Amino acid sequence: MRRTQSQTRLCADGSESMDARTSPHYSLGVEMLKRPIGINVLEAARERIAWTFDNFERIYLSFSAGKDSTIMLHLVADEARKRGRKFGVLVVDLEGQYKLTIEHGKKCVDMYADCIELFWVCLPIHLRNAVSVYEPFWKCWDPKAKDAWIREMPDWALSDPSLLPFFREGMEFEEFVPLFGEWYGQGKRTACFVGIRTDESLNRFRTIAQTKKETLDGKRWTSRVIEEVYNVYPIYDWRAEDLWTYHALHPDRPSNKLYDYMYRAGVPMGLMRICQPYGDDQRRGLWLFHLIEPETWARVVARVSGANGGSLYMQEWGNINGYRKISKPPGHTWKSFARLLVDSMPPKTMEHYRNKITLFEKWWMERGYPDGIPDEAAYEMEAARKAPSWRRVCKSLLRNDYWGKGMGFSQHKSEAYQKYLNLMRRRKESWGIKQDGLGFEIPEDDDDEQNATSPAHLCRA
């Protein structure tokens, strides 16, 4: 197992940090560099897990049956058995998953049945469908679409919503997870083990390294989520090769064989994903379904609009998906191209994107662009989100970036979304806007004023 002296490590254990002005992550609000801590990553993970058992009354683990959470389950179960304690295992089954993954997950939870409390959740949760503008969302385990389910619901699943008093049909996955933690914790200090690794993305690095978060005892690999619930990231400093080294050293412990098929199909380690197939990131792996599990693929295509087209084109660059450089049609400006794209959408989706674009333009008009945003800016400035442009807008539209993350917005919670729509109509009226930035007429609205929600809770540009 790789030792941490062989490369640098995050200052996760209260060490001195480099001056922020010289840190390469200064612009991210991160004031730490990586440095070695003198032990290998397996020993470090075991120490973090033991510390968690010492400091938390209630412990559960978020288990997707992927490579990271599988390793974490093995390590946490070792510690639990050593102490004679039980811990919860939360599996949020999103219906559209590989049979290999479900079989592996069941094998793992059966293996540790003596030390876990299992919550294998199969409930109607609202999920993103990034492969269609006509059906931008879908609901897994929707009781109204039972005949179209991708697979049968497992016999061991928790499918009765009355058992989870906080649950509301159609709630977002991002809402469900912290509320489950609060419910499971019963008011006690609670840890949720989460298997993210900083090696996978800059956002995951920031989750660990950022200084503007609440931790427990200064451990940077902990983050307070809600009330007495903390996320704990014991394998944050592992690399992909460390995961497979662990399995090589422990051949008796199961791993998800789906990754073997992905490897044979030529998928790089960093792009191997097993989550629900229609998400903004996961859609690029849709094509693998009909290679690895053709019997599942037929159900995947039938379940959600756009799946087949997504599998054909999600590996493409340019205008097809808005990745890397894009081009506009001859005779168009970026602004007129944006209008052309929005004008081709179904009414509900059109209104959604128009609201995003109006707010994006308004935000920048108040911050140095009083005459409106430019058609384009320097690529590096656009990429860093330091300058607005209609080309940025077009990229989001081509990418089917429903929440407008490329324009700097964050995702709305489901219960606030209708309030957001009502609020946007009122804000446009208060700004004196009769047409949005693309020249569309603003519709009248008769909803009650009390439905409005504070703008600070809705978006950021």
With a threshold of 0.85, does the pTM exceed it? no
pLDDT given for residue 218 in this prediction: 93
pLDDT given for residue 299 in this prediction: 77
Q: Residue 95: which residues within 8 A CB-CB, separation 6 or more?
A: 122, 140, 141, 149, 150, 151, 276, 303
pLDDT given for residue 18 in this prediction: 25
Q: Residue 297: which residues within 8 A CB-CB, separation 6 or more?
A: 289, 290
Domains detected in the chain:
4-241 (3.40.50), 334-457 (no CATH)
- What b/e readout covers 257-286, taking b as 16+ CB neighbours within 10 angstroms? ebbebbeeeebebeebbbbbbbbbebbbbb
Instruction: Please give the average pLDDT of every successive group of 10 residues along the chain, which has 461 residues.
Output: 42 31 36 72 97 98 96 98 98 90 96 98 86 71 92 95 93 91 96 94 86 93 94 96 95 94 79 63 56 72 55 40 67 90 83 90 92 92 91 84 82 56 65 60 40 31 35
- In angstroms, how far is CA 363 from the centroid of its own chain? 25
pLDDT given for residue 4 in this prediction: 45
Burial label for 340, CB within 10 Å (0-12, 13-18, 19+), is middle
Contact 159, 140 (CB under 8 A): no
pLDDT given for residue 209 in this prediction: 87
pLDDT given for residue 440 in this prediction: 55
Look at residues 103, 90, 17, 4 and name the one whose alpha carbon lies nearest to residue 47.
4
pLDDT given for residue 186 in this prediction: 94
